[in-house]
Homo-oligomer: A and B are copies of this chain.
């Protein structure tokens, strides 16, 4: 089970995923070896599923992003599985959630420009079988893009 000390480690590693074990041990208040073993355990238990550099979208040349509301025509496993498989594959789709509400799925898509977004729709999204409706909500401004769980 994830407990008090682990949560401090997780919180800190979310803030700085490249903190050295020594820094980490100091900020959470334990010895380097104890700290190191807990981190390792969290990794092996899959609580920490990985580490990532956070790249500034615009500075890296991705000017355009959007949130898509997608509804499927029918909800056979066949269509659903196909949709999930394709969306998982496609790297422009950063996030995809099955949700309650009007749409079946919420997707966040990131591309270099509007042209690329148009191609994304034509060549990918509109060709997925069983799609009823796709509504694009262009992202005008990123107020916040966090990854850290609120421990």
CA distance A79 to B15 in the complex (A): 30
The answer, yes or no, to whether A128 is at the interface (CB within 8 Å) is no
A59 touches B45 (CB 8 A): yes
Q: A2-B59, A52-B15 are in contact. Are A105 and B143 (CB under 8 A)?
A: yes
Q: A2-B60, A91-B150, A147-B147 are in contact. Are A138 and B50 (CB under 8 A)?
A: no
Q: Which of the four size classes fits the interface of chain A?
A: 35 or more
> What residues of chain B lie closer than 8 Å to A56, measured between beta carbons?
46-49
CB of A71, distance to nearest CB on chain B (Å): 12
> What residues of chain B lie closer than 8 Å to A142, measured between beta carbons?
96-97
Kindly supply a per-residue 1/0 record for chain A positions 126-151, scoring 1 wherever the CB is within 8 Å of any chain B CB and 0 otherwise: 00000000011111111111111111
Sample (14) of A-B pairs whose CB atoms are under 8 Å apart: A13-B52, A16-B51, A47-B59, A55-B149, A62-B149, A62-B150, A67-B97, A92-B150, A96-B142, A96-B143, A97-B143, A98-B140, A99-B137, A100-B136
